[in-house]
Structure 1
Amino acid sequence: MTTPPRLSPLLEQYDFARERLTARLTGPVMDSGDGSDTKVGSLTDEEYLWEPVAGCWSVRRRTDGPGARATFLAGAGDWGRDAASYPHPWPPPFTTLAWRLSHLTEMLALRADHTAGTRALTRDDHAVSGTAAEAIAAFDTAAGAWRTALLGADDAALDTVGYCTYPHGSDAEEPFVDIVWWVNQELLHHGAEIALLRDLYRERGPRQG
C-alpha cells in the first residue's frame, strides 16, 4: 500500500523519535541533536527502578503491593504499574523511568491492537516488565506493532472517526490522523522525560569540587 502523503511526515517523525529514544536507552551512542554522536550506557535495572524522590509511582512486584497513594497495580504478570482509579491523586505522583516507559509501551501496544489487531486487548492483558532489558524489548515490540498498524491506513482511514477503538483516549471522537499526531506527541514528550531521568541518574549524589 502506498503511504498517504498526509501520513508520510508523521511517520518520519515517529521513526525518528522511536530511534532516538531506543538509542538513549541502549547506547552505545545517541544522536545529540546536532548530528554528532554522544556516548551513552545501556539502561540498568537499578536505573530503571530508581526513585529520585519520596513517594514515586513505579512498577513493582505484585507481592509488594502498590506504592504510596496508588490503590492497585495495573497490568498483567508478576509486576504491575502503580495506578489509582479516578479521581487520580493530586498533585500527581512523580513517576519513575520504569513507570513512564511502561505507560508508553502499553499505549502503543493497545492502540496497535485496537487499530489493526483484535480490538479487544485491555490494560489487564498488558504485561508489565520488571527489568530494563525486558522493558526495552517490550517497547520495541509495541512500537513496531503501531508502525505496522499505520502502514495499513489509507486516506479514508485517516479521516475515519473511531478507526482506532482504543478505550482510554479520544480515539472514538477524533479522525485517525489526529490520533496519529497525538501518539507522536506522547512518544516525543515521554521520550524527553525518560532522557532527563537518565541525565539526573548520571548526576545523582553529592558533587565534588
Structure 2
Amino acid sequence: MSVPARLTPLLDQFDWACERLGNRLAGPFVDSGNGTEVAAPALTDEEYLWEPVPDCWSVRRRVAGPGPGATFLTGAGAWGRDTAPFPHPTPPPFTTLAWRLSHLAEMLALRADHTAGGHSMTREDYRVAGDAAEALADFAASAAAWRAALAGADDAALDTVGYCTYPYGSDPEDAFLSTVWWVNQEVLHHGAEIALLRDLYRARRGQA
C-alpha cells in the first residue's frame, strides 16, 4: 500500500524523533541536529530510576507500593508506574526518566493495538520495564508497532473518526490524522524532557 501524501511528512517526523530518542538513550552517539555527532553513553539502570527531586513519580517494584502522591501502580508484571485517578495531583508531580519512557512505550503499544490489533489492550495489560535495557527494547518494539499501524492507513482511514479506539484520550472522537499528529508531539516533547534529564544526570556526576 502506498503511503498517503498527507501522512508522509508525519511518518518522517515520527521516524526522526524515535531515531534521535533511541540514539540519545542507547548511544554511543546522537546527531546534535546539524549532523555533528555528540557522545551519548548508554542509559544505565541507576540513571533510568534516578529521582532528581523529592517525591518523584517513577516506576517501582509492585511489592514496594506506589510513591508519594500516587495511589496505585499501573501496568502488569513485577513493576508498575506511579499514577492516580483523575483529577491528578496539582501541581503535577515531577516524573523520572523511567516514568516518561514507560509512558511513551505504553502509549505507542496501546494505540497500535487500538488501531490495527485487537482493540482491547488496557494499561493494566502493559508490562512495565524495571531496568534500562528492557525499557529501551520496549520503546523500540512499541514504536515499530505504531509505525506498522500507520503504514496500513489509507486516505479514507486518515479521515475516519474513531479509526483508533485508544480509550485514554480523545481518539474515538478524532479523525485519525489528528491522532497521528498528537502521537508525534507526545514523542517529541517527552523525548526532549528525557534528553534534558540525561543532561542533568551527567552534570550531577561532573561528567563532560
Same fold (TM over 0.5): yes
What is the alpha-carbon distance in structure 2 between the residues aligned to residue 109 and residue 201 of structure 1?
A: 28
Q: Which residue of structure 2 aligns with residue 141 of structure 1?
A: 141
Q: Which residue of structure 2 aligns with residue 104 of structure 1?
A: 104
Partner amino acid, structure 2, of 1:78? A
Count residues with an aligned counterpart.
207
Q: Which residue of structure 2 aligns with residue 67 of structure 1?
A: 67
Describe the SS at the equivalent of 2:13: helix
Describe the SS at the equivalent of 2:60: strand
Q: Which residue of structure 1 aligns with residue 22 of structure 2?
A: 22
Over the matched positions of the two proteins, sequence identity in percent amounts to 70
Question: What stretches of structure 2 of length at least 5 have no aligned partner?
Answer: none
What is the alpha-carbon distance in structure 1 between the residues aligned to residue 169 and residue 188 of structure 2?
A: 17
Partner amino acid, structure 2, of 1:67? G
Q: Which residue of structure 2 aligns with residue 54 of structure 1?
A: 54
What is the alpha-carbon distance in structure 2 between the residues aligned to residue 99 and residue 39 of structure 1?
A: 24
**Offset at 1:57?**
0.1
What is the alpha-carbon distance in structure 1 between the residues aligned to residue 191 and residue 87 of structure 2?
A: 26
What is the alpha-carbon distance in structure 2 between the residues aligned to residue 58 and residue 39 of structure 1?
A: 26
Q: Which residue of structure 1 aligns with residue 161 of structure 2?
A: 161
TM-score, reference length from structure 1: 0.98
More displaced 10-residue stretch of structure 1: 84-93 or 145-154? 84-93
What is the alpha-carbon distance in structure 2 between the residues aligned to residue 10 and residue 180 of structure 1?
A: 7
What is the alpha-carbon distance in structure 2 between the residues aligned to residue 161 and residue 167 of structure 1?
A: 14
Partner amino acid, structure 2, of 1:33? G
What are the Cα deviations for residues 63-119 of structure 1, in whole angstroms up to 9, with x where unaligned? Answer: 100000000000000000000011111110000000000000000000000000000
Q: Which of structure 1's runs of 4+ aligned residues deviate more than 4 A?
A: none
What is the alpha-carbon distance in structure 2 between the residues aligned to residue 24 and residue 205 of structure 1?
A: 18
Partner amino acid, structure 2, of 1:70? A
Q: Which residue of structure 2 aligns with residue 198 of structure 1?
A: 198
What is the alpha-carbon distance in structure 1 between the residues aligned to residue 68 and residue 158 of structure 2?
A: 41
Q: Decide whether aligned partners of structure 1 residues 81 and 20 sit closer, same or farther in structure 2, where only a CA change above 3 A counts.
A: same
What are the Cα deviations for residues 100-143 of structure 1, in whole angstroms up to 9, with x where unaligned? Answer: 00000000000000000000000000000000000000000000
Q: Which residue of structure 1 aligns with residue 77 of structure 2?
A: 77
**Offset at 1:34?**
1.1
What is the alpha-carbon distance in structure 2 between the residues aligned to residue 157 and residue 13 of structure 1?
A: 19
What is the alpha-carbon distance in structure 1 between the residues aligned to residue 86 and residue 16 of structure 2?
A: 34
**Offset at 1:205?**
5.4
Describe the SS at the equivalent of 1:203: helix
What is the alpha-carbon distance in structure 1 between the residues aligned to residue 202 and residue 6 of structure 2?
A: 40
Partner amino acid, structure 2, of 1:6? R
Partner amino acid, structure 2, of 1:160? T
**Offset at 1:187?**
0.3
**Offset at 1:173?**
1.0
**Offset at 1:206?**
7.3
